[in-house]
Amino acid sequence: MVQISGRYQHVENVNFFELLKKTGATDEQASAGDKTRAIMTVALDGDRVRIKLEGFGEDIENHFVLGQESDEKLQKGIVSKTTVTKEGDTLKFVAKENGSETYSRLYKFTDSGLEVIMNLEGFEAKRIYKRL
């Protein structure tokens, strides 16, 4: 089993600019987000998950209990209702709005890093991180 807890440095995007545009970001905002090389800290302790993201203009830290819906702080003061589940070397985050799924992220961990696969209304993007 791969070590999930650790620090990760963002190195590459696939379709992330386009995903940001689908969320309503302007070209300028999407371009800035696409160029951001954030550092993510992931801590898994039993059924508790902590995710800290540094480098998007503001550090954001969220705490989850596996299988339980939690408030997830996002950029610009946005809060979503998010449930995290774990299966093997992956963590799945499902955000809901008005009771239905609106956005999901699948965190796939490897010995060398982390791939975050995001899905918004059927559109997929990826952010790729290396393990520090």
Q: Look up tokens 């209304």; give the residue.
A: 121
Residue 119, H or E segment: strand 113-120
Residue 116 lies in a domain: yes
pLDDT at residue number 79: 85
Chain-centre distance for alpha carbon 96: 14
Q: To the nearest whole number, what is the mean pLDDT of the chain?
A: 91
3-state secondary structure 7-39: EEEEEEEECHHHHHHHCCCCHHHHHHHHHCCCE
Number of domains the chain is built from: 1
Task: Please give the average per-residue pLDDT across 82-91, as a whole number.
Answer: 96
CATH of the domain at 23: 2.40.128.20
Residue 1 lies in a domain: no
pLDDT at residue number 33: 85
Q: What is the pLDDT of residues 6-58, one digit of tens each?
A: 999 999 999 999 998 988 889 998 898 888 889 999 999 999 999 999 986 77
Query: In which domain, by residue range, is 24 found?
Result: 6-131
Task: Please give the average per-residue pLDDT across 56-68, as a whole number.
Answer: 91
Q: Which region, left, alpha or beta, applies to residue 16 given φ > 0 means left and ψ of -120 to 50 means alpha?
A: alpha
Task: Please give the average per-residue pLDDT across 75-90, as a whole number.
Answer: 89
Partnered with residue 82 across adjacent β-strands are 70, 95
Residue 38 lies in a domain: yes
End-to-end C-alpha distance for the chain, whole angstroms = 18
pTM of full prediction above 0.85: yes
